[in-house]
Structure 1
Amino acid sequence: MNYNVTNDPRIAYFDELAPRWDTQCSNPSAVIERLQALRPRLPLQAGMNLLEVGCGTGQITGWLAREVAPGRVVAADFSPAMLAVARARGVSADFVEADVCQGPPPGGPYDVVFCFNAFPHFRDQDAALRHMAAVLKSKGRLVVLHLCGSDQLNQFHHQLSPPVNHDHLPPLDCWPLMLRDAGLAYEQGVDQPDLFLVTACRL
């Protein structure tokens, strides 16, 4: 089922990339190694219900499912082609086509909303934060994670073609106010060349 999916031009962009994403655009095994090293800093526990926003080809969905088992994972993306690749992995998760900028994703409330390598591509980042906050339980946690810093990521995006060449990850000092306006309390933040991590708690 589709939830609030619009005609954002990024959908066609990521649909076109989907068949070769895991071989040309990323290294899935290296990503999982980094996540495993970061595991002590991530608010993941067995039995949690987790929403992954911007799951793409599902590179980390299986890892998330294992970390919160026997909890439930819902993985959402606005690219049907990316979701087709993700579903084909056969991992223990429910995949839904949804646009977090347009409305709250389905299936809440969640203990954790996990947003990996996706936030810059949200055309309305304030709306995306509000909609992610809306599906969190009281004291539920939001995680925004990239395996590089905001400067490095923004420079990379500026070298790409439209419609993603202006996609932008806000620097760390912008996040406390952005989160507060969405009903979230800033907890921790790291912005260094090899890591961007923000966690927040629903008020």
Structure 2
Amino acid sequence: MTKKNREKLSIEQQEELISVLKDRFEQNMNRHKGIKWDKVQEKLEGNPEKLWSLHAMEVTGGEPDIVSYDKKKDEYTFYDFAVESPKGRRSVCYDREGLESRKKHKPENNAIDMATAMGIEMLTEDQYRSLQKIEKVDMKTSSWVQTPSDIRNLGGALFCDRRYGYVFVYHNGASSYYGARGFRGLLRV
């Protein structure tokens, strides 16, 4: 799915999503101290394409919420806060090349293409660690993260999780996939 053929949310879908996001925002003020919901809602209502991406994050199980506001760019950043890697984004290879290199048992998709189709970015290792400082996630699952090109060029890809009270970064072949591994994303609005 490209940006050009993304569907627009109906008014009802927009209102329902904004209500869900507002409830999550109000129930988790520790994630975004000092940010006022009315400004966020105004920004969301003025960006229907971003609302569509937030909807995609929500329906795939990401539970997006705000982590920061950049005054210079006038931009809010949303991360996936689901306790475990989003269910609707699991069992995927890292990227298209990894997917196409599989001889047998190919999954339906890959993390990079899914993130692109949703209009979001995959978290980097640093962003993943900053998420973990806000809340403990991926204690039973793991999440692909953006992989540096020197690692990817050698066939590898990185993923992270939290075990034993620590955040770990691991590597796998980019063609691997597991039922408990998905990816987390971010969206700037």
TM-score by length of 1: 0.29
TM-score by length of 2: 0.31
Rg larger in 1 or in 2? 2
RCO greater where, 1 or 2, for CA within 8 Å and sep 6 or more?
Answer: 2
